[in-house]
Structure 1
Amino acid sequence: MEVLLDGKRVQVPEDSRLSDLLPDRDPRFSVAVIRPVLEEEAESQEVRFVTTAGDMVVEVADPALVSRIFAPGLAEKLRLHWQDRYTAAFGPFESGVRPAREPGRYERGDVILGCGGYDPARSYLIFSRMRHTADHGAAADGGVIGRVVTGRGLLDRIGTGDRITAVERILRRADRSHAVVTRDGDFPLEDGMQVVSYVEAAVQGWESGNVDTGAARSVEHFLLSVKEGRFQVGRSTSTHVVDTHLVPAKVPLEFSGPRLEGAVTVRTAGKSSGAVYIYTQGVSASAAHTVVGQVIHGIELVRFAGEGDLLAIRAEPEKFDLVGFALAEAEAVAARRGVTLTSDETGGDRVVVGQTPATTLEVLAAGAVKVATEPPGAVISITLDEAAAPRSVTIFREATGLKHHDVGKMPLVFRFEDVSLFKPKIGKGIGIIPENVPTGEVPAFTLAMTNDSRRGAGMVGVRASANAEFGPTSEPLTGTNIIGKVLDAEKLEQMREGTTVYVREVK
């Protein structure tokens, strides 16, 4: 049989399975398998509303509504007729709605077909700005005909004088061949099948070796997100998939542009700031998204992936981060990538603890990097118990830099008896809830963080002996969150107050 594997034709024996085609595949990763049937252009259940304030995409619940309600000429009648803190209504126009004369309950982003004075000849498209209960002259089912899936922030910006200038049904490629996304190594292959096993994206500013650093910081966030070669689909919609494992994160808006099919963006504002999006359909630009790349292989896998799928992903270029490498290893990596490396110390057994420039694109554009190093004795290995204290561990990684690099740092501010106290810089307003609080004796060299029940919240400590009364930060056990363990106990004896201690997480 002949199978198309990631764009290459491969001959396989009859009765072959997916594992025969991909013997080295990580079984956690999903792949797309597409049978060889012709594709056709098909109308989706999505409608784009082009307004004078921006664009919104609405996913319509019933496909029949698309042709019945959104008829040619509708846009000419959709002016902002009235608005309040809860809704914005466009119209009027005539529809076949049968008002139930009773209130309905609505969520933010709901699109409601209602009418004024219970008269279907004065119907409106009503966009819900926030959760509320009201009688909008809608049908008995509440009249929700769809939800805003893109451009929801526009709901708050629409104002007097705005209107809908166009209503467009969005077209996309619909594959009638029953595409399957699977992790099953025993999945049977058929002659002519297409198998897509990974996604590859070229980052914004990288083209044929030419480097533009205008989006260097947001691109760096994307490269960090896919550093392990994984894209975890946390949410899948008709226009995009999202990976949220680095949320929340501060990412600058550096390149705002149309989110075309295959575009990779990072959200820069809101509760999902730091989330990475890959688009399977084109939507308009957003002030809350910065474009960081474009898929150059594997859009089919993205298009058919669902919530919970883990996708193999590659980025071009790969992240350039030498922090955590032994100096000799860092020199080898720099040489392999054509970058001139300058170190603050030469020779000897050193560990890289910092690099300048900090971002991949800046390093590659300059063709040179400077690194700061420390002796191995200054780098302490630790383990972190994310399962038992997920929030505290997340705060610790962010404060020390372990979220971004293989080696983080924190100042040693105080030592007395058998206790060492550290003060990583934790942002204001970050709550450290009691989490994984000990109930008995705390073993020696346990790593802990003081929680918000004590004045010293955010202090990190380790104690060289077991204690059943006080935690590693010398606070009562109720004020102590256990976050991990120090593995290099002997190195702590060499540390002095006022020094910077470097930490490496062992997983």
Structure 2
Amino acid sequence: MYFINGAAKEFTTEMTILDAIKLNNAPYDENCLVTVKIPEKKQILDKRMHREYHIETTKGRISILLTQSPFFKDLVRSYYAFEGIKVGWLSKDVITFGPVDMSFIDAPASRDSKNYSKWDIFLSFGGYDPANTHLCFSKRDHAGIYGSPEDLNGIVGRVIQGGHIIPFLQRTDSVLTFTPLTQSRKRVLRLRPAELKEELVSPKMEIYTYLSITLNEEAKNTIDHFLATITSGKFHVDAASSMYVKNDEFRGAKIQSENSTFRQNGTITVRNQGNDIGSVFIYKNDTSFSPSHNVIGRINPDQIPLVQNANPGDQILVETFPKSFKFIGKTQHHATEYLKNYDITHKRVGDESDDAIIVEQRPQNTIDVWLEKTCVTLGLASSKIIRVQLFHEEAPLSVNHFRKNSNMLYYPIGKLQVLENLKMLMLFLPITGIDSIEAVPRENIQDSASAGLIGVTNALRRLTGTIGIRLIENDIYGPTGETHEGTNIIGQVVSNLDFLKTLDTGDMVWFMEVSNDE
């Protein structure tokens, strides 16, 4: 017998872990974290017996897996030499421990740039001399010249646990102990897609591919905030500690306090005040009550190994109960068919045709739709929705200002009211009122403004925060009528600009964000 996501399965024949996942129709995404718990003294444990090591640092433990590289035997016989060694040097790409004299390594150092993936561990010869060897940990995918051995770019292993510690290591930190993992009653491995195709299932093995989340009805407002972070069905880990993993996508969003209760292991919360307001936390261990956290749900406790072994940059596949009932940006037909599966009544208003795009819904909250068993959706013809591309990387603060004022923070569609159509440009009022306009710092200044460019007046001008769209190209003035120096360019209208030109003061304009490839 073996287990997938906590459910017992009969062990009938030899198969790989990936075969077992597919055989049982377990939720799986090759881009998401998969962990495996291995019982003591089984085949997979024996294969890795002398390959796994714990590195205890002054910041905490890092677990590594050595690969079968040309330097494997050299490291196995000399790993203890790194005990007591401090951080050698660090950058945004790597952190190293060293130097250590490994003159016995007979390998030429490369003077070329080499490619490394996040969490790769590789050797670097300082001055191209093995007598000055550093053990390097890659913080992200990058290329660099490190004087590494030619073979396999000097890669000797990878981090399998404790990656969240690495970004916090400083020059004053050091290796306390460097010890092989020789025995354990049950251990957890993080496996890559290629390894899932190779490793065999063994009796009592536990495989985890996703998190099953039960949402708490007492936190209905905050639940929609959480659901907005997992619209792709994945929880992206931005930070991790010994207590939790965290997502910061909507850090800074205003959250009202609700359902602040005791936090058990597996509990999911959203912080409602402080520096991390808006961040989502999933807890690895029990912790005390805090009025600063809204408890919105809990994962299946059997699946906690996924959370315990997640590192920053990982994605975890998730499923919620109840499902999300957010239809803004979908068609009327999609909402009807989706709600039918849950015996929820769907009422169409506005444009009721199948291909009409939903721009508003009532109730707004997923939990209210689930409990009331009814949903009313307002449809609008696609030709009346202004599709825009937003420049998140070039103007993140200004884009956030636009999204907040058009109610697009959590949705792909939002709206603004026309303040004035000046024929050359159009100015807008936020639906939340003029008092919500904030000062916007200077970013993404351009020398000209083509038709369809979206802009926000920056803090260099008195009317900072004003939102506008250029209707006719101009080399002097931007989308809000200010000079280019006073205007942040935040996006581009990609369709239905001619329809926009027909609107006037007081009209409501609906915007839909699209990606570059849409």
User: When the two structures are superposed, what TM-score results if normalisation uses the length of structure 2?
Assistant: 0.65
> How far apart are the structure 1 equivalents of 2:59 and 2:223?
38
Counterpart contact for 1:19–1:25, Cα < 8 Å: no
- For 1:48-67, what per-residue CA distance to the aligned partner results, in whole angstroms no more than 9, with x for missing partners? xxxxxxxxxxxx9799xxxx
Structure 1 residue 10 displacement after superposition: 7.2
Counterpart contact for 1:414–1:420, Cα < 8 Å: yes
- For 1:316-358, what per-residue CA distance to the aligned partner results, in whole angstroms no more than 9, with x for missing partners? 1111112222223222222222221223336445332211211
- For 1:23-71, what per-residue CA distance to the aligned partner results, in whole angstroms no more than 9, with x for missing partners? 9954431211222239xxxxxxxxxxxxxxxxxxxxx9799xxxxxxxx
Counterpart residue number, 1:9: 9
Mark the CA change 1:22 to 1:237 in structure 2 (over 3 Å): closer, same or farther. farther
Counterpart residue number, 1:147: none
Counterpart residue number, 1:197: 209
> How far apart are the structure 2 equivalents of 1:384 and 1:395?
12
Gaps of 5+ in 1: 39-59, 64-173, 206-213
Counterpart residue number, 2:31: 28
Counterpart contact for 1:19–1:186, Cα < 8 Å: no
The equivalent position to 1:404 in structure 2, one of 393, 406, 410, is: 410
- For 1:146-192, what per-residue CA distance to the aligned partner results, in whole angstroms no more than 9, with x for missing partners? xxxxxxxxxxxxxxxxxxxxxxxxxxxx9754422244433541332
SS at match of 1:299: helix
Counterpart residue number, 1:287: 291
Counterpart residue number, 2:453: 446
- For 1:419-453, what per-residue CA distance to the aligned partner results, in whole angstroms no more than 9, with x for missing partners? 11222247758441111111x33322111111111
Mark the CA change 1:226 to 1:469 in structure 2 (over 3 Å): closer, same or farther. same
The total of aligned residue pairs comes to 366
Counterpart contact for 1:421–1:461, Cα < 8 Å: yes
> How far apart are the structure 2 equivalents of 1:17 and 1:369?
42
SS at match of 1:33: strand
1:326 counterpart = 2:331: yes
Q: How does 1:305-316 map to 2 (within 5 A)?
A: 305-316=310-321
> How far apart are the structure 2 equivalents of 1:363 and 1:263?
23
The equivalent position to 1:461 in structure 2, one of 458, 468, 482, is: 468
> How far apart are the structure 2 equivalents of 1:505 and 1:477?
24
1:180 counterpart = 2:192: no
Mark the CA change 1:25 to 1:366 in structure 2 (over 3 Å): closer, same or farther. closer
Counterpart residue number, 1:142: none
Counterpart residue number, 1:260: 264
Mark the CA change 1:240 to 1:464 in structure 2 (over 3 Å): closer, same or farther. same
2:225 partner letter: H
Counterpart contact for 2:438–2:465, Cα < 8 Å: no
The equivalent position to 2:307 in structure 1, one of 288, 302, 309, is: 302
Q: How does 1:113-262 map to 2 (within 5 A)?
A: 177-187=186-196, 188-192=198-202, 193-205=205-217, 214-262=218-266
2:9 partner letter: R
> How far apart are the structure 1 equivalents of 2:242 and 2:463?
47
CA-based RMSD: 2.9
Mark the CA change 1:22 to 1:30 in structure 2 (over 3 Å): closer, same or farther. farther
User: When the two structures are superposed, what TM-score results if normalisation uses the length of structure 1?
Assistant: 0.66
Counterpart residue number, 2:505: 497
- For 1:257-298, what per-residue CA distance to the aligned partner results, in whole angstroms no more than 9, with x for missing partners? 110111111111112111111111111110101111011252
Mark the CA change 1:176 to 1:269 in structure 2 (over 3 Å): closer, same or farther. farther
Counterpart contact for 1:3–1:190, Cα < 8 Å: no
> How far apart are the structure 2 equivalents of 1:453 and 1:390?
18
> How far apart are the structure 1 equivalents of 2:498 and 2:59?
67
Counterpart contact for 1:34–1:179, Cα < 8 Å: yes
Structure 1 residue 233 displacement after superposition: 1.5
Identity of aligned pairs, percent?
26
1:324 partner letter: G
Mark the CA change 1:329 to 1:21 in structure 2 (over 3 Å): closer, same or farther. closer
Structure 1 residue 301 displacement after superposition: 0.4
2:463 partner letter: G
> How far apart are the structure 2 equivalents of 1:460 and 1:12?
64
Q: How does 1:49-68 map to 2 (within 5 A)?
A: none
